[in-house]
Structure 1
Amino acid sequence: MQFTEFNSSNDLNENFAERVAGLLSAAIEKNGRASLVVSGGRTPLPFFQKLSQADIAWNKVAITLADERWVDKNHEASNTALVLNNLIQNKAADATFVELKTSEESAFGAEPSVEANLQKLSFPIDVLILGMGEDGHTASLFPCSEQIQQGLTSEEVCIAVQPTTAPHERMSLTLKSLLNSQQIFVHLVGESKKAVLDKALAGEQVSEMPIRAIVKQNNTPVEVVWAAK
């Protein structure tokens, strides 16, 4: 795992956007298309806005989320809305967005529909950007959920999850899908997140802190980008 510290979140966002745009452009040049998987929440929004202005062939980029709450896109908890309003804008408006949320009432049982949607992406994922919760979860692989072992071991592309410490059913890419990437980034801001990362690096039990399955493996390159504030 590579750890890169920035002086400020603004420096991080500018440098990170340039780095990701470069990787996507290289993938397009090599394969004719590129895939980008992002995470929701508030932390990546300024980064999304920077990336959306990158001068690359966005019409050849497919974007999806690492996980999504099972809510409509007009719901305040929708990560889809965050991506549409902050990343699929400006020059990136030409990108293809692949939604994880489908019309099914429940995430449980919707996995085949979501997996079919994800066929629009090219695997391995060219760039995967993850966040991390205070409990060490990443994507929607929550240590508190009954589905955690399945999420960590399943051969499937995605899995429905019901966390016990957070609201809403979720759809999440499985660990196997997350690791099926050319480059993984973990985007963190704040001293508290650095403390959680340090705790994760100091232990071994993956089901206790699922982020360990990302940062403590050696098959897919991982870089943590971090700023204190």
Structure 2
Amino acid sequence: MNTQTVPNPQEGIRLANKFLIKTLDKRTVLFLSGGKTPEPLYRKFAREKKFVVGAVGMIDERFTERGHTESNEAMIEKTGLLSYLSKKNIPFYPMLRKGLPFEKCAHTYDVTVRFLLNHFSKSVGVMGIGEDGHTAGILPNAKEEPRKLVSAVLDPNGVSPQRITMTFSALTLIDMLVVLAFGENKRKVLADMRINGSIAALPARFYSQKGIVKKTILITDQTI
């Protein structure tokens, strides 16, 4: 794993932005995760207007009405990134579809992800890691569905109990994973993810797997 240690989250976002601007091009599909950690990065993309990519998709989403303030799509929209994509005619593929039920919405996006991965020659994902070790919408001890690229999952303790997320099978197909993890509360999980153990119990260990570790860039302000 290529670990880049920075003095603070602001420098981490700056580094991620610089790296991605150099890496992305019209042949690339970029998948974005939700959460507070990557939000400043998306805002920086929109503000600096140097962002060039073939298409943008999503890694995880809360199952709500499209446009709901709790949705990851709404968070990305507030950063100004969706407006920028529209002006540049860069396609954006949201997870939520009006009128589609939970399971059907996940299945429909599974088809979308397969199309994007086949259509573009390169793929990059922007990821985060939760204090509990979850990544994307993959929670500790969640049921694995290896045949699916996108799954409908339940998070009874979350703000929204129904979530749609890419699976490990999908993340395995992405060419490069940029993982952002900032704050003292992430130190333990960053240490634990490097210890051999159950990926189900600590989904972040996925990034330390053989074959995944070589394509993962971890940007953190924590010394492990």
1:104 Cα deviation after fit? 4.2
1:54 Cα deviation after fit? 4.0
| Residue number in structure 1 paired with 2:4 | 4
Mapped pair 1:113 → 2:108: yes
Q: Is contact 2:107-2:151 (8 Å) kept?
A: no
Change (3 A) 1:93 1:226: farther
1:199 Cα deviation after fit? 1.6
1:109 Cα deviation after fit? 3.3
| Residue number in structure 2 paired with 1:197 | 190
Give the SS at the match of 1:36: strand
What letter matches 1:118 in structure 2? V
| Residue number in structure 2 paired with 1:80 | 73
Q: Is contact 1:144-1:165 (8 Å) kept?
A: no
Q: Superposition pairs for residues 54-133 of structure 1, below 5 Å?
A: 54-58=49-53, 61-86=54-79, 87-90=81-84, 93-94=87-88, 95-119=90-114, 121-123=116-118, 126-133=123-130
1:116 Cα deviation after fit? 3.2
Give the SS at the match of 2:188: helix
Count of matched residue pairs: 215
Give the SS at the match of 1:225: strand
1:7 Cα deviation after fit? 1.5
| Residue number in structure 2 paired with 1:22 | 22
1:72 Cα deviation after fit? 1.9
| Residue number in structure 2 paired with 1:173 | 166
Which stretches of structure 1, 4 residues or longer, exceed 6 Å deviation after superposition? none
**Alpha-carbon distance in 1 for matches of 2:156, 2:204:** 18
Give the SS at the match of 1:88: helix
Q: Deviations over 1:151-210 (max 9, x none)?
A: xxx122211101233232111111111111111111111011122111222241011011
Question: Which residue among 25, 30, 38 is the counterpart of 1:36?
Answer: 30
**Alpha-carbon distance in 1 for matches of 2:42, 2:176:** 18
Give the SS at the match of 2:175: coil
1:21 Cα deviation after fit? 1.3
Change (3 A) 1:7 1:22: same
What do you get for the CA RMSD once the two structures are aligned?
2.2
Q: Is contact 1:102-1:114 (8 Å) kept?
A: no
Question: Which residue among 213, 216, 221 is the counterpart of 2:215?
Answer: 221
Q: Is contact 1:206-1:212 (8 Å) kept?
A: yes
Q: Which runs of 5+ in 2 are unaligned?
A: none
Q: Is contact 2:66-2:97 (8 Å) kept?
A: no
What letter matches 2:13 in structure 1? N
Change (3 A) 1:97 1:68: same
| Residue number in structure 2 paired with 1:137 | 134
1:57 Cα deviation after fit? 3.7
What letter matches 2:193 in structure 1? A
**Alpha-carbon distance in 1 for matches of 2:182, 2:127:** 12
What letter matches 1:165 in structure 2? N
* Length-normalised TM-score, structure 1: 0.84
